Chains A and B, each alone.
Chain A
Amino acid sequence: MGSIWTPHGERLLRPVSGAAEWSTYGGEGVYETIGQDTANSRGTELSSGASNVKGSWTEVVASSPVDAHGLFVNLDVRLQGVEALVDVAVGSPEKLIAENLMHSTGRRGTLAIDSGLSYFLPISVPAGTRISARCQTLQNDKEHITITLLTHGALLSTPLSEVKSYGEDLSDSAGTAIDPGGTINTKGGFVEITASTTGDIKAIILAWGNRANLFRQAWNMWLFDIAIGGLGVEKIVLADLPMSCPYGFPGSIMGPFPINIPSGTRLSAQAQSNETDATDRVLDLMIYGVI
C-alpha cells in the first residue's frame, strides 16, 4: 500500500495495516480496528453474566497498536436482537473508560430488524494499552464488539478521558423510559435522567433504545429535548432531536455534542410523538457525559 501525497509533497496519511488511504480532515489521522474475529466475520464475542448481570471482562486487544485520540465502539449482535449495556475498560485490572453503552435493536417478532451501532467516543488511549469489554443483556444474549481506533487529527482537538453513563436501568439492561404522553404531537414533560452529574462534562452522547418492543408500530416519529436544571426550571440545551421508526425502532445514537456541563447538574429529557399508543410511544434514552 503506497502513501498519498499532496501536490506540495506532504504525506497525507501514514499507511497502517487495514487502514484506508484517506486523510481525516484534521490532518494525518489513521484508523486501526481491533477485536475483529475474521474466522467468524464478526467482532469479539462478549457474554452476559446472566440475565441483567455483567459478564466477565473479555480482552479485545492485549496491546493497542496506535495512540488513539478517539474510539469508534462498534456493536453487533446475531439474529434475535438484544437489549444490552456494554462497558469498555483499559489495563489490568480493568479501569472503566466507557460504561453502559446501550445497544438496543429493533425487533419484528423474535427477529432483529437491524444489528449494528457505532459509538464515537472522543477519548484518548495510548498505544500499548490492553483494552477489554464486558456486557449485560436482558435475555442472557451475546454481543460482538470491534473498536476502531482513530489517531490524532480529527474531530475534537482535545481528546478526553472517560465516558460516564446517565439513565441506565440495570434491571432491564436499558435506559430511562421517556414517555411523550397520550396527547399527540405535544411534549410530555421532562423526566429526570440524573439528579446530579459527576465530573465536568465536555461533550454528551445520546442513545435511544427500543425497550424490547417486539411489535412496535410503523412510522412512529418523535422529537426529543435534552435539558439541564432543576424541576420546573429546566433549560433546554438540545431541542427537537428527531427519531423515527419506519418499521420497528432500531437503536440510535447522536453525538458527541460538544457542551460544557459542570459537575452536579441535573439532566432531564422530554419528547413528543405522532404516536399515542401507551407502549409504542415510549423510547429508552441514555445520556453519556464525556469528561
Chain B
Amino acid sequence: MWFVLYHRDTGHPVSQSSEPPDSIKEGLAVVEFLERPSDDLMWDDASRLFVARPQHKFVDRLDDLKADPDFMGIWRRLSDTQRTRLRRVLIRLLGGARYRRDDQPFGVMPE
C-alpha cells in the first residue's frame, strides 16, 4: 500500500509513505494506493492522483542545421561526396552533443 497525505484545499502533498498515518491533522486528507507509484508517475495537486510524468522529445542537431538558411546556402553548393564528408565531420565534431532536448537551445554550451 502507498499513502499520500496532502493539504485538502490545495492538493499539495505533505508526505508519502508505505505506512498509514496515526492521525490526520485539521486541513489534511489522505489517499491510499495499492502500491508505490513508479518513477515515471508524479503527484498531481489538482487531481490528487499520480499522473504520467511528461517525457521530452529529442532533436538531432544535424536537423537543426537543415533549418539554418546560412548553412543550407552553403550545403546546396556542395557535391554529394562533399556533403557526405561534411556530415561525417559534423557527427565526429558533435559527438555526445549531437542530440538535444526539444526545450534546449541549438547551441551545445550555454552562452
Binding site for B on A (CB under 8 A): 107-111, 169, 172, 177, 179, 181-183, 186, 188-192, 195, 211, 214-215, 217-218, 230-234, 247, 266, 268, 270, 277-279, 282
Contacts and interface: CB of A to CB of B under 8 A. Distances in A.
Interface string B1-40: 0011110000011111111111111001010000000010
Contacts of B73: none
B83 interface: no
Interface in B30-88: 30, 39, 42-43, 45, 53-56, 58
Given A110-B96, A191-B16, A232-B14, A179 B104 contact: no
Given A109-B97, A110-B96, A278 B14 contact: no
B101 interface: yes
A111 B97 contact: yes
B17 A195 contact: yes
Contacts, number: 104
B53 A279 contact: yes
Given A179-B43, A189-B6, A278-B53, A195 B18 contact: yes
Secondary structure dominating the interface of A = loop
Interface of B: 3-6, 12-25, 28, 30, 39, 42-43, 45, 53-56, 58, 95-101, 103-104, 109-110
Given A177-B39, A278-B53, A279-B56, A231 B99 contact: no
A107 B97 CA distance: 10
Nearest to B14: A189
A110 B58 CA distance: 13
B5 A232 contact: yes
A124 B38 CA distance: 37
